[in-house]
């Protein structure tokens, strides 16, 4: 009887592990399409058939990313210590250019997200132009720097990101 219980427990645990593993494998597939220094560009395929492209620069505690799918176009920052949680605005500056501010960003589990689709097309284009040519992206509170991200290498990362978007994430 004890042997049967051990076998049943092992079999149940193994089946549960397989089911959970399959679920995670089906949830999304990430393909790295560019990686240099701290910049990475990914194409995502979700289990519902949706696709997205992400360009990101990060270190172990924080991340800056640009996310584009059929329904979303976002600029977001993530801090492992949830620094973003206290902000009801998203303010950033690229090099010494004028700062940009979004007074209605979304917050989700460490991510502060600015919907670029809410900006004018000219503003969205200018932000990308500044990021491509820039050296530093400053995430700001009212007037002071919360953190900064290196934009060195961002031009080539944006080339890969734009190509991914043009291909609708099909990799």
Residue 19, domain member (yes or no): no
Task: Specify the CATH number for the domain of residue 43.
Answer: 2.60.40.1880
Asked if residue 5 belongs to a domain, the reply is: no
Query: What three-state secondary structure class fits 127?
Result: helix
2 in any annotated domain:
no
- Which pLDDT score is estimated for 84? 67
User: What is the domain extent for residue 47?
Assistant: 28-166
pTM for this model (two decimals): 0.78
In angstroms, the CA 124 to CA 39 distance is 20
Residues 139-156 pLDDT 10s: 998 889 999 999 999 999
Give domain status of residue 61, yes or no. yes
Residue 17 pLDDT greater than 70, yes or no:
no
Provide CB contacts within 8 A for 101, sequence distance 6+.
89, 90, 91, 92
Q: Which residue has the higher pLDDT, 56 or 27?
A: 56
User: Is 50 part of a structural domain of the chain?
Assistant: yes
Residue 14 lies in a domain: no
> What tens digit of pLDDT does each residue of 33-59 get?
999 988 999 999 999 999 999 999 998
- Is the pLDDT at 115 greater than 70, yes or no? yes
pLDDT at 18: 40
- The pLDDT of residue 120 is 94
**Residue 11 pLDDT greater than 50, yes or no:** no
Dihedral angle sign, alpha carbons of residues 124, 128, 130, 136: positive
- Residue 7 in domain: no
Cα distance between the two ends of the chain: 52
Query: In this structure, is residue 16 part of a structural domain?
Result: no
Total domains in the fold of the chain: 1
Percentage of residues in the chain with pLDDT exceeding 70? 83
């Amino acid at each position: 009887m004890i042997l049967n219980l051990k076998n049943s427990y092992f079999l149940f645990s193994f089946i549960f592990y397989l089911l959970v593993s399959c679920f995670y494998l089906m949830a999304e597939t990430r393909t790295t399409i560019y990686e240099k220094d701290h910049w990475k560009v990914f194409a995502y395929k979700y289990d519902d058939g949706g696709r997205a492209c992400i360009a990101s620069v990060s270190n172990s505690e924080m991340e800056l990313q640009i996310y584009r799918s059929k329904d979303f176009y976002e600029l977001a920052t993530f801090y492992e210590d949830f620094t973003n949680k206290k902000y009801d605005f998203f303010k950033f500056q690229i090099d010494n250019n004028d700062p940009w501010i979004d007074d209605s960003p979304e917050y989700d589990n460490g991510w502060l997200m600015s919907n670029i689709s809410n900006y004018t097309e000219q503003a969205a284009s200018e932000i990308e132009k500044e990021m491509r040519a820039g050296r530093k992206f400053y995430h700001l509170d009212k007037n002071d720097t919360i953190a900064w991200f290196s934009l060195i290498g961002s031009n080539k990362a944006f080339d890969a990101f734009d190509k991914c978007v043009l291909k609708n994430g099909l990799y």
